[in-house]
Structure 1
Amino acid sequence: MQLAAGGFRDITRIASSNPQMWTDILLNNREVLLQMLTQWQKEMSQLSFWLKNKKAEQLYHFFEHAKATRDHLPSNKKGSIPAFYDLFVDVPDKPGSIAEITSLLAKSSISLTNIKILETREEIIGILQLTFKNEKDLIKAKAHIENKTNYHCRLQ
Protein backbone atom coordinates (compact mmCIF):
# COMPACT_ATOMS: atom_id res chain seq x y z
CA MET A 1 0.00 0.00 0.00
CA GLN A 2 2.94 2.36 0.54
CA LEU A 3 3.73 2.25 -3.17
CA ALA A 4 0.17 2.93 -4.37
CA ALA A 5 -0.14 6.24 -6.18
CA GLY A 6 -3.09 8.62 -5.87
CA GLY A 7 -4.96 7.01 -8.76
CA PHE A 8 -5.03 3.68 -6.93
CA ARG A 9 -7.83 4.88 -4.66
CA ASP A 10 -9.88 5.96 -7.70
CA ILE A 11 -9.56 2.65 -9.53
CA THR A 12 -10.39 0.63 -6.41
CA ARG A 13 -13.52 2.53 -5.36
CA ILE A 14 -15.76 -0.49 -6.02
CA ALA A 15 -13.96 -2.28 -3.20
CA SER A 16 -15.52 0.18 -0.74
CA SER A 17 -19.04 -0.56 -2.02
CA ASN A 18 -21.62 -2.84 -0.50
CA PRO A 19 -20.36 -6.47 -0.81
CA GLN A 20 -23.91 -7.87 -1.02
CA MET A 21 -24.76 -5.57 -3.90
CA TRP A 22 -21.70 -6.72 -5.89
CA THR A 23 -22.36 -10.36 -5.07
CA ASP A 24 -25.89 -9.96 -6.48
CA ILE A 25 -24.64 -8.09 -9.56
CA LEU A 26 -22.07 -10.77 -10.36
CA LEU A 27 -24.48 -13.66 -9.84
CA ASN A 28 -27.17 -11.99 -11.96
CA ASN A 29 -24.64 -11.46 -14.77
CA ARG A 30 -22.86 -14.78 -14.24
CA GLU A 31 -22.82 -16.11 -17.83
CA VAL A 32 -21.54 -12.99 -19.55
CA LEU A 33 -19.01 -12.36 -16.77
CA LEU A 34 -17.64 -15.90 -17.04
CA GLN A 35 -17.15 -15.38 -20.78
CA MET A 36 -15.44 -12.05 -20.20
CA LEU A 37 -13.20 -13.48 -17.46
CA THR A 38 -12.14 -16.32 -19.76
CA GLN A 39 -11.19 -13.80 -22.46
CA TRP A 40 -9.37 -11.62 -19.91
CA GLN A 41 -7.42 -14.64 -18.62
CA LYS A 42 -6.32 -15.43 -22.18
CA GLU A 43 -5.13 -11.86 -22.64
CA MET A 44 -3.26 -11.90 -19.32
CA SER A 45 -1.61 -15.22 -20.25
CA GLN A 46 -0.45 -13.66 -23.52
CA LEU A 47 0.84 -10.61 -21.62
CA SER A 48 2.65 -12.89 -19.17
CA PHE A 49 4.29 -14.78 -22.07
CA TRP A 50 5.47 -11.53 -23.68
CA LEU A 51 6.85 -10.31 -20.37
CA LYS A 52 8.68 -13.58 -19.60
CA ASN A 53 10.16 -13.63 -23.09
CA LYS A 54 11.03 -9.91 -23.19
CA LYS A 55 8.82 -9.27 -26.23
CA ALA A 56 9.15 -5.49 -26.15
CA GLU A 57 7.36 -4.87 -29.44
CA GLN A 58 4.27 -6.88 -28.42
CA LEU A 59 4.20 -5.20 -24.99
CA TYR A 60 4.48 -1.80 -26.64
CA HIS A 61 1.54 -2.54 -28.98
CA PHE A 62 -0.54 -3.83 -26.05
CA PHE A 63 -0.11 -0.52 -24.22
CA GLU A 64 -0.44 1.50 -27.42
CA HIS A 65 -3.85 -0.11 -28.02
CA ALA A 66 -4.86 0.45 -24.36
CA LYS A 67 -3.91 4.13 -24.64
CA ALA A 68 -5.86 4.59 -27.88
CA THR A 69 -8.92 2.95 -26.32
CA ARG A 70 -8.69 5.14 -23.20
CA ASP A 71 -8.09 8.31 -25.21
CA HIS A 72 -11.32 7.74 -27.18
CA LEU A 73 -13.56 7.49 -24.10
CA PRO A 74 -15.93 10.44 -23.83
CA SER A 75 -15.19 13.08 -21.21
CA ASN A 76 -17.98 15.21 -19.71
CA LYS A 77 -20.29 14.62 -22.63
CA LYS A 78 -22.93 12.13 -23.64
CA GLY A 79 -21.51 8.84 -24.86
CA SER A 80 -21.18 5.22 -23.92
CA ILE A 81 -20.09 6.26 -20.43
CA PRO A 82 -22.37 8.85 -18.86
CA ALA A 83 -20.75 12.06 -17.72
CA PHE A 84 -20.85 13.01 -14.06
CA TYR A 85 -21.47 16.51 -12.87
CA ASP A 86 -20.00 16.76 -9.38
CA LEU A 87 -20.13 19.62 -6.92
CA PHE A 88 -18.00 19.56 -3.77
CA VAL A 89 -19.34 21.46 -0.78
CA ASP A 90 -17.36 22.13 2.40
CA VAL A 91 -19.72 21.52 5.31
CA PRO A 92 -19.07 21.88 9.04
CA ASP A 93 -19.55 19.00 11.46
CA LYS A 94 -22.83 20.20 12.90
CA PRO A 95 -26.33 18.69 12.97
CA GLY A 96 -28.49 19.67 10.02
CA SER A 97 -25.86 20.96 7.61
CA ILE A 98 -26.45 18.19 5.04
CA ALA A 99 -30.22 18.48 5.48
CA GLU A 100 -29.94 22.23 4.93
CA ILE A 101 -28.22 21.70 1.59
CA THR A 102 -30.47 18.91 0.33
CA SER A 103 -33.61 20.81 1.42
CA LEU A 104 -32.41 23.90 -0.41
CA LEU A 105 -31.92 21.86 -3.58
CA ALA A 106 -35.30 20.15 -3.21
CA LYS A 107 -37.09 23.50 -2.76
CA SER A 108 -35.41 24.69 -5.96
CA SER A 109 -36.49 21.51 -7.82
CA ILE A 110 -32.88 20.46 -8.39
CA SER A 111 -32.55 16.69 -8.44
CA LEU A 112 -29.48 14.86 -7.14
CA THR A 113 -28.35 11.60 -8.69
CA ASN A 114 -25.86 10.79 -5.93
CA ILE A 115 -24.61 12.13 -2.62
CA LYS A 116 -21.43 11.14 -0.82
CA ILE A 117 -19.66 12.31 2.33
CA LEU A 118 -15.92 12.35 1.64
CA GLU A 119 -14.70 13.27 5.13
CA THR A 120 -16.32 11.85 8.24
CA ARG A 121 -13.92 12.67 11.09
CA GLU A 122 -15.64 14.58 13.86
CA GLU A 123 -15.09 18.27 14.54
CA ILE A 124 -13.62 19.13 11.15
CA ILE A 125 -15.00 20.43 7.88
CA GLY A 126 -16.45 17.64 5.78
CA ILE A 127 -16.74 17.46 2.03
CA LEU A 128 -20.12 16.69 0.56
CA GLN A 129 -19.95 15.40 -3.01
CA LEU A 130 -23.18 16.06 -4.89
CA THR A 131 -23.70 14.54 -8.33
CA PHE A 132 -26.20 15.90 -10.84
CA LYS A 133 -27.57 14.52 -14.11
CA ASN A 134 -26.53 17.51 -16.18
CA GLU A 135 -24.38 20.63 -16.16
CA LYS A 136 -27.39 22.94 -15.94
CA ASP A 137 -28.45 21.42 -12.58
CA LEU A 138 -24.84 21.53 -11.37
CA ILE A 139 -24.47 25.26 -12.08
CA LYS A 140 -27.91 26.03 -10.65
CA ALA A 141 -27.14 24.07 -7.46
CA LYS A 142 -23.79 25.79 -6.98
CA ALA A 143 -25.41 29.21 -7.32
CA HIS A 144 -28.26 28.36 -4.92
CA ILE A 145 -25.97 26.92 -2.25
CA GLU A 146 -23.53 29.84 -2.43
CA ASN A 147 -26.32 32.46 -2.45
CA LYS A 148 -28.41 30.96 0.35
CA THR A 149 -25.69 29.60 2.68
CA ASN A 150 -22.15 30.38 3.79
CA TYR A 151 -20.84 27.03 2.45
CA HIS A 152 -17.96 27.04 -0.03
CA CYS A 153 -18.60 25.10 -3.28
CA ARG A 154 -16.18 24.01 -5.97
CA LEU A 155 -16.27 22.09 -9.24
CA GLN A 156 -13.66 19.53 -10.17
Structure 2
Amino acid sequence: MEINSVSIIGLGLIGGSLTKALKERLNITEIKAVDLNKQSINQALAEGYITKGYTEINEDIYDSDLIFLCTPVKNAIEYINKLSSKVRDNCIITDVASTKCEIVNFINSMDNPPRFIGGHPMAGTEKSGFASSLSHLFENAYYILTPTIGTKEEDIDVMVNIIKRIGGIPIITDAEEHDFVTAAISHVPHIIASTLVNLVGKLDYPDGKMQTLAAGGFKDITRIASSSPELWENVVLSNKQKIRGVLEAFVETLNEFKKYMDDDNAKSINRYFRTAKELRDSLPDNRKGLLISAHEIIVDVVDKPGIIGEIASILGNNGVNIKNINVSNSREFEQGCLRITLPDSDSVKNAVTLLSDRGYKVYKI
Protein backbone atom coordinates (compact mmCIF):
# COMPACT_ATOMS: atom_id res chain seq x y z
CA MET A 1 0.00 0.00 0.00
CA GLU A 2 1.38 3.39 -1.01
CA ILE A 3 1.16 6.14 1.60
CA ASN A 4 0.77 9.60 0.08
CA SER A 5 -1.45 11.47 2.53
CA VAL A 6 -0.84 11.37 6.29
CA SER A 7 -2.70 13.13 9.09
CA ILE A 8 -1.21 13.75 12.53
CA ILE A 9 -3.70 14.45 15.32
CA GLY A 10 -1.75 16.04 18.16
CA LEU A 11 1.40 18.04 17.36
CA GLY A 12 3.20 17.50 20.65
CA LEU A 13 6.66 15.99 21.07
CA ILE A 14 5.77 12.60 19.52
CA GLY A 15 3.34 13.92 16.91
CA GLY A 16 5.75 16.67 15.93
CA SER A 17 8.69 14.28 15.73
CA LEU A 18 6.65 11.88 13.56
CA THR A 19 5.73 14.78 11.30
CA LYS A 20 9.36 15.79 10.87
CA ALA A 21 10.56 12.21 10.39
CA LEU A 22 7.89 11.43 7.80
CA LYS A 23 8.68 14.62 5.88
CA GLU A 24 12.47 14.30 6.00
CA ARG A 25 12.93 10.54 5.75
CA LEU A 26 9.96 9.30 3.74
CA ASN A 27 9.41 12.49 1.75
CA ILE A 28 5.65 12.35 2.34
CA THR A 29 4.30 15.21 0.23
CA GLU A 30 0.97 15.71 2.02
CA ILE A 31 1.00 15.88 5.81
CA LYS A 32 -2.01 17.38 7.55
CA ALA A 33 -2.19 18.12 11.26
CA VAL A 34 -4.81 18.77 13.92
CA ASP A 35 -3.97 20.48 17.20
CA LEU A 36 -5.81 22.81 19.56
CA ASN A 37 -2.61 24.84 19.90
CA LYS A 38 -2.60 27.23 16.93
CA GLN A 39 0.99 28.17 17.68
CA SER A 40 2.12 24.61 17.01
CA ILE A 41 0.11 24.52 13.76
CA ASN A 42 1.56 27.82 12.61
CA GLN A 43 5.12 26.77 13.44
CA ALA A 44 4.75 23.47 11.58
CA LEU A 45 3.32 25.32 8.56
CA ALA A 46 6.03 27.99 8.63
CA GLU A 47 8.77 25.37 8.78
CA GLY A 48 7.24 23.44 5.90
CA TYR A 49 6.55 20.22 7.78
CA ILE A 50 2.79 20.19 7.18
CA THR A 51 0.77 21.21 4.16
CA LYS A 52 -2.44 22.01 6.08
CA GLY A 53 -3.29 22.57 9.73
CA TYR A 54 -6.56 22.56 11.64
CA THR A 55 -7.84 22.87 15.20
CA GLU A 56 -10.42 20.09 14.68
CA ILE A 57 -10.90 17.09 12.41
CA ASN A 58 -12.79 17.59 9.14
CA GLU A 59 -13.35 16.15 5.65
CA ASP A 60 -9.72 16.79 4.72
CA ILE A 61 -8.52 14.60 7.60
CA TYR A 62 -10.95 11.82 6.65
CA ASP A 63 -9.33 11.77 3.20
CA SER A 64 -6.02 10.27 4.43
CA ASP A 65 -4.09 7.07 3.77
CA LEU A 66 -2.75 6.97 7.33
CA ILE A 67 -3.78 8.76 10.54
CA PHE A 68 -1.63 8.97 13.67
CA LEU A 69 -3.47 9.67 16.93
CA CYS A 70 -0.83 11.36 19.09
CA THR A 71 -3.02 12.04 22.11
CA PRO A 72 -3.76 10.40 25.49
CA VAL A 73 -5.77 7.17 25.27
CA LYS A 74 -9.09 8.75 26.31
CA ASN A 75 -8.82 11.39 23.59
CA ALA A 76 -7.67 8.81 21.03
CA ILE A 77 -10.80 6.73 21.66
CA GLU A 78 -12.96 9.83 21.17
CA TYR A 79 -11.23 10.51 17.85
CA ILE A 80 -11.71 6.89 16.74
CA ASN A 81 -15.45 7.24 17.34
CA LYS A 82 -15.46 10.32 15.11
CA LEU A 83 -13.21 8.85 12.43
CA SER A 84 -14.25 5.20 12.08
CA SER A 85 -17.32 5.69 9.89
CA LYS A 86 -15.95 8.59 7.84
CA VAL A 87 -12.43 7.64 6.75
CA ARG A 88 -11.61 5.76 3.57
CA ASP A 89 -12.05 1.99 3.63
CA ASN A 90 -8.30 1.57 3.11
CA CYS A 91 -7.26 4.18 5.69
CA ILE A 92 -4.98 2.88 8.47
CA ILE A 93 -5.41 4.45 11.91
CA THR A 94 -2.74 4.07 14.59
CA ASP A 95 -1.89 5.69 17.92
CA VAL A 96 1.21 6.32 20.04
CA ALA A 97 -0.14 5.90 23.59
CA SER A 98 2.02 4.14 26.18
CA THR A 99 -0.80 1.77 27.20
CA LYS A 100 -2.54 -0.48 24.72
CA CYS A 101 -5.21 -2.70 26.31
CA GLU A 102 -7.82 0.01 26.76
CA ILE A 103 -7.74 1.21 23.17
CA VAL A 104 -7.29 -2.26 21.62
CA ASN A 105 -10.17 -3.67 23.65
CA PHE A 106 -12.31 -0.74 22.54
CA ILE A 107 -11.52 -1.40 18.87
CA ASN A 108 -12.18 -5.13 19.28
CA SER A 109 -15.60 -4.40 20.79
CA MET A 110 -16.77 -2.28 17.86
CA ASP A 111 -19.36 -3.65 15.45
CA ASN A 112 -17.50 -2.26 12.46
CA PRO A 113 -13.91 -1.61 13.58
CA PRO A 114 -11.57 0.54 11.46
CA ARG A 115 -8.22 -0.68 10.20
CA PHE A 116 -6.55 0.19 13.47
CA ILE A 117 -3.17 -0.99 14.72
CA GLY A 118 -1.92 0.10 18.13
CA GLY A 119 1.48 1.74 18.32
CA HIS A 120 3.89 2.77 21.03
CA PRO A 121 7.23 4.40 20.17
CA MET A 122 9.55 3.92 23.14
CA ALA A 123 11.20 7.30 22.73
CA GLY A 124 10.96 10.75 24.22
CA THR A 125 12.77 13.57 25.95
CA GLU A 126 12.23 15.56 29.12
CA LYS A 127 10.73 18.34 27.01
CA SER A 128 7.33 18.57 25.35
CA GLY A 129 5.60 20.33 22.48
CA PHE A 130 6.20 20.72 18.77
CA ALA A 131 9.06 23.16 19.38
CA SER A 132 11.00 20.34 21.09
CA SER A 133 10.25 17.68 18.46
CA LEU A 134 13.10 15.96 16.61
CA SER A 135 13.15 14.08 13.32
CA HIS A 136 15.70 11.64 14.75
CA LEU A 137 13.76 10.95 17.97
CA PHE A 138 12.96 7.37 16.95
CA GLU A 139 16.46 6.30 15.93
CA ASN A 140 17.41 3.00 17.61
CA ALA A 141 14.18 3.11 19.63
CA TYR A 142 11.83 0.16 19.93
CA TYR A 143 8.44 0.87 18.38
CA ILE A 144 5.76 -1.54 19.57
CA LEU A 145 2.84 -2.55 17.34
CA THR A 146 -0.29 -4.23 18.75
CA PRO A 147 -2.71 -5.49 16.05
CA THR A 148 -6.48 -5.54 16.52
CA ILE A 149 -9.31 -7.42 14.81
CA GLY A 150 -9.46 -4.54 12.33
CA THR A 151 -5.79 -4.85 11.37
CA LYS A 152 -4.93 -6.37 7.99
CA GLU A 153 -1.60 -8.04 7.26
CA GLU A 154 -0.67 -5.30 4.82
CA ASP A 155 -1.28 -2.70 7.54
CA ILE A 156 1.42 -4.33 9.65
CA ASP A 157 3.75 -4.33 6.64
CA VAL A 158 3.10 -0.62 6.06
CA MET A 159 3.80 0.30 9.68
CA VAL A 160 6.91 -1.89 9.91
CA ASN A 161 8.29 -0.24 6.78
CA ILE A 162 7.59 3.27 8.12
CA ILE A 163 9.13 2.49 11.51
CA LYS A 164 12.30 1.16 9.93
CA ARG A 165 12.62 4.16 7.62
CA ILE A 166 12.35 6.63 10.52
CA GLY A 167 15.10 4.72 12.30
CA GLY A 168 13.03 2.68 14.77
CA ILE A 169 13.00 -1.01 15.63
CA PRO A 170 9.52 -2.54 15.15
CA ILE A 171 8.29 -5.17 17.60
CA ILE A 172 4.89 -6.84 17.22
CA THR A 173 3.12 -8.12 20.32
CA ASP A 174 -0.35 -8.27 21.85
CA ALA A 175 -1.80 -5.55 24.04
CA GLU A 176 -1.90 -7.63 27.23
CA GLU A 177 1.78 -8.47 27.05
CA HIS A 178 2.69 -4.90 26.15
CA ASP A 179 0.88 -3.41 29.13
CA PHE A 180 2.34 -5.94 31.56
CA VAL A 181 5.87 -5.27 30.31
CA THR A 182 5.50 -1.49 30.41
CA ALA A 183 3.94 -1.68 33.88
CA ALA A 184 7.09 -3.43 35.11
CA ILE A 185 9.77 -1.41 33.30
CA SER A 186 8.17 2.03 33.16
CA HIS A 187 4.94 2.64 35.05
CA VAL A 188 5.85 1.12 38.41
CA PRO A 189 9.38 2.65 38.33
CA HIS A 190 7.73 6.07 37.98
CA ILE A 191 5.52 5.30 40.98
CA ILE A 192 8.53 4.10 42.99
CA ALA A 193 10.57 7.20 42.11
CA SER A 194 7.72 9.46 43.17
CA THR A 195 7.26 7.43 46.36
CA LEU A 196 10.93 7.85 47.28
CA VAL A 197 10.74 11.60 46.79
CA ASN A 198 7.49 11.86 48.77
CA LEU A 199 9.09 9.70 51.49
CA VAL A 200 11.96 12.16 51.87
CA GLY A 201 9.46 14.99 52.06
CA LYS A 202 7.56 13.10 54.77
CA LEU A 203 10.57 12.04 56.87
CA ASP A 204 12.68 15.17 56.46
CA TYR A 205 13.81 17.29 59.39
CA PRO A 206 12.31 20.77 59.86
CA ASP A 207 15.47 22.36 58.47
CA GLY A 208 15.23 20.29 55.29
CA LYS A 209 18.50 18.43 55.83
CA MET A 210 17.44 15.41 53.75
CA GLN A 211 16.58 17.60 50.79
CA THR A 212 19.90 19.41 51.12
CA LEU A 213 21.83 16.14 51.00
CA ALA A 214 19.56 14.45 48.46
CA ALA A 215 21.74 14.91 45.42
CA GLY A 216 24.00 12.65 43.40
CA GLY A 217 22.68 9.10 43.32
CA PHE A 218 19.35 9.99 44.90
CA LYS A 219 18.59 12.50 42.16
CA ASP A 220 19.61 9.93 39.53
CA ILE A 221 17.28 7.18 40.71
CA THR A 222 14.38 9.61 41.24
CA ARG A 223 14.91 11.72 38.10
CA ILE A 224 11.79 10.34 36.42
CA ALA A 225 9.65 11.69 39.26
CA SER A 226 9.94 15.05 37.49
CA SER A 227 7.70 13.81 34.66
CA SER A 228 4.32 15.38 33.92
CA PRO A 229 1.77 14.58 36.68
CA GLU A 230 -1.10 14.85 34.18
CA LEU A 231 0.56 12.38 31.82
CA TRP A 232 1.13 9.83 34.57
CA GLU A 233 -2.35 10.23 35.96
CA ASN A 234 -3.68 9.09 32.57
CA VAL A 235 -1.13 6.27 32.24
CA VAL A 236 -1.86 4.81 35.68
CA LEU A 237 -5.62 4.91 35.28
CA SER A 238 -5.48 3.27 31.84
CA ASN A 239 -3.22 0.44 33.02
CA LYS A 240 -4.19 0.07 36.67
CA GLN A 241 -4.78 -3.71 36.62
CA LYS A 242 -1.31 -4.52 35.30
CA ILE A 243 0.28 -1.89 37.55
CA ARG A 244 -1.49 -3.30 40.59
CA GLY A 245 -0.11 -6.78 39.86
CA VAL A 246 3.45 -5.48 39.46
CA LEU A 247 3.16 -3.37 42.62
CA GLU A 248 2.04 -6.43 44.56
CA ALA A 249 5.08 -8.34 43.28
CA PHE A 250 7.27 -5.37 44.24
CA VAL A 251 5.90 -5.28 47.79
CA GLU A 252 6.39 -9.05 48.07
CA THR A 253 10.03 -8.67 46.97
CA LEU A 254 10.59 -5.87 49.51
CA ASN A 255 9.12 -8.02 52.26
CA GLU A 256 11.50 -10.84 51.32
CA PHE A 257 14.41 -8.42 51.65
CA LYS A 258 13.11 -7.16 55.00
CA LYS A 259 13.15 -10.76 56.22
CA TYR A 260 16.76 -11.17 55.09
CA MET A 261 17.65 -8.18 57.28
CA ASP A 262 15.59 -9.37 60.24
CA ASP A 263 17.31 -12.78 60.07
CA ASP A 264 20.80 -11.26 59.59
CA ASN A 265 20.95 -13.40 56.46
CA ALA A 266 24.13 -11.95 54.93
CA LYS A 267 24.27 -14.56 52.16
CA SER A 268 20.77 -13.73 50.89
CA ILE A 269 21.41 -9.98 51.12
CA ASN A 270 24.59 -10.40 49.09
CA ARG A 271 22.75 -12.55 46.52
CA TYR A 272 19.95 -9.98 46.30
CA PHE A 273 22.37 -7.21 45.34
CA ARG A 274 24.55 -9.46 43.17
CA THR A 275 21.72 -10.77 41.00
CA ALA A 276 20.46 -7.20 40.56
CA LYS A 277 23.94 -6.01 39.59
CA GLU A 278 24.41 -8.84 37.08
CA LEU A 279 21.03 -8.21 35.44
CA ARG A 280 21.57 -4.42 35.43
CA ASP A 281 25.04 -4.80 33.88
CA SER A 282 23.66 -7.08 31.16
CA LEU A 283 21.10 -4.56 29.92
CA PRO A 284 21.94 -3.14 26.47
CA ASP A 285 23.10 0.47 26.40
CA ASN A 286 22.80 1.04 22.65
CA ARG A 287 19.02 1.08 22.52
CA LYS A 288 16.46 3.64 23.62
CA GLY A 289 14.00 2.41 26.21
CA LEU A 290 10.86 3.65 27.89
CA LEU A 291 12.69 5.66 30.54
CA ILE A 292 14.42 8.75 29.19
CA SER A 293 18.21 8.55 29.34
CA ALA A 294 20.06 11.12 31.44
CA HIS A 295 22.94 11.73 28.97
CA GLU A 296 25.27 12.68 31.80
CA ILE A 297 28.93 12.14 32.56
CA ILE A 298 30.98 12.54 35.70
CA VAL A 299 34.51 13.96 35.46
CA ASP A 300 37.05 13.42 38.22
CA VAL A 301 38.87 16.74 38.59
CA VAL A 302 40.91 18.64 41.17
CA ASP A 303 39.29 21.79 42.48
CA LYS A 304 41.42 24.57 41.01
CA PRO A 305 40.71 27.92 39.35
CA GLY A 306 39.65 27.65 35.73
CA ILE A 307 39.04 23.89 35.67
CA ILE A 308 35.35 24.20 34.68
CA GLY A 309 36.21 26.68 31.93
CA GLU A 310 38.98 24.39 30.70
CA ILE A 311 36.65 21.42 30.32
CA ALA A 312 33.87 23.56 28.83
CA SER A 313 36.33 24.91 26.25
CA ILE A 314 37.50 21.43 25.25
CA LEU A 315 33.94 20.33 24.61
CA GLY A 316 32.70 23.59 23.10
CA ASN A 317 35.63 23.95 20.71
CA ASN A 318 34.85 20.48 19.39
CA GLY A 319 31.15 21.07 18.83
CA VAL A 320 29.82 19.36 21.97
CA ASN A 321 26.97 21.37 23.47
CA ILE A 322 26.70 21.42 27.28
CA LYS A 323 23.19 21.61 28.69
CA ASN A 324 24.30 21.88 32.31
CA ILE A 325 27.50 21.64 34.34
CA ASN A 326 27.78 21.64 38.11
CA VAL A 327 29.79 20.40 41.07
CA SER A 328 28.23 17.41 42.83
CA ASN A 329 28.45 18.01 46.58
CA SER A 330 26.78 14.75 47.58
CA ARG A 331 28.72 11.99 45.82
CA GLU A 332 29.19 9.10 48.20
CA PHE A 333 28.77 6.57 45.41
CA GLU A 334 30.07 8.65 42.49
CA GLN A 335 33.57 8.57 41.04
CA GLY A 336 34.09 12.27 40.38
CA CYS A 337 32.82 15.68 41.34
CA LEU A 338 31.98 17.45 38.09
CA ARG A 339 28.64 16.44 36.61
CA ILE A 340 27.96 17.42 33.00
CA THR A 341 24.58 17.06 31.27
CA LEU A 342 24.64 16.69 27.49
CA PRO A 343 21.85 16.70 24.85
CA ASP A 344 22.15 13.16 23.46
CA SER A 345 24.07 9.88 23.42
CA ASP A 346 26.37 10.98 20.58
CA SER A 347 27.44 13.98 22.63
CA VAL A 348 28.19 11.67 25.56
CA LYS A 349 30.43 9.47 23.39
CA ASN A 350 32.26 12.47 21.96
CA ALA A 351 32.71 14.08 25.37
CA VAL A 352 34.09 10.90 26.91
CA THR A 353 36.59 10.50 24.06
CA LEU A 354 37.67 14.15 24.04
CA LEU A 355 38.21 14.38 27.80
CA SER A 356 39.75 10.92 28.17
CA ASP A 357 42.26 11.70 25.42
CA ARG A 358 43.36 14.70 27.46
CA GLY A 359 43.95 12.63 30.58
CA TYR A 360 40.72 13.21 32.48
CA LYS A 361 38.97 10.32 34.22
CA VAL A 362 35.43 10.27 32.83
CA TYR A 363 32.52 8.06 33.82
CA LYS A 364 29.22 7.61 32.02
CA ILE A 365 26.16 7.54 34.28
Structure-1-length-normalised TM-score: 0.51
Q: Which of residues 31, 37, 43 in structure 1 aligns to 2:241?
A: 31
Unaligned runs of 5+ in 2: 1-209, 297-322, 326-339, 349-363
For residue 30 of structure 1, report the CA deviation from its aligned partner.
Answer: 0.8
Distance 1:49 1:21 in 2: 36
Q: How does 1:93-104 map to 2 (within 5 A)?
A: none
C-alpha distance after superposition, 1:51-93 (max 9, x if no partner): 0110111111111100101110112x13767895959xxxxxx
Higher relative contact order (CA 8 A, sep 6+): 1
**Partner of 2:275 in structure 1?**
65
Pick one of 107, 124, 130 that aligns with 2:343.
Answer: 130
Q: Equivalent residue of 2:287, what SS?
A: coil
Structure 2 matches for 1:105-120, cutoff 5 A? none
2:232 corresponding residue in structure 1:
22
Alignment map for 1:71-86 (pairs within 5 Å): 71-75=281-285, 77-78=286-287
Query: Where does residue 42 of structure 1 map in the other structure?
Result: 252
Q: Give the CA deviation at 1:43.
A: 0.7
Structural RMSD (CA): 3.6
What is the identity, as a one-letter code, of the residue corresponding to 1:60? Answer: N
CA distance in 1, matches of 2:291, 2:234: 23
SS in 2 for 1:8: helix
Please tell me the residue identity of whatever aligns with 1:41: V
Deviation sequence 1:90-132 (CA, Å, 0-9, x none): xxxxxxxxxxxxxxxxxxxxxxxxxxx759xxxxxxx98534x
Change (3 A) 1:82 1:24: closer
Percent identity (aligned): 29
Deviation at 1:40, TM superposition (A): 0.7
Gaps of at least 5 residues in structure 1 are: 88-116, 120-126, 140-155
The alignment partner of 1:130 has SS state of coil
Could you say which structure has the larger radius of gyration? 2
Q: Structure 1's 84 and 15: CA in aligned 2 closer, same or farther, altered over 3 A?
A: closer
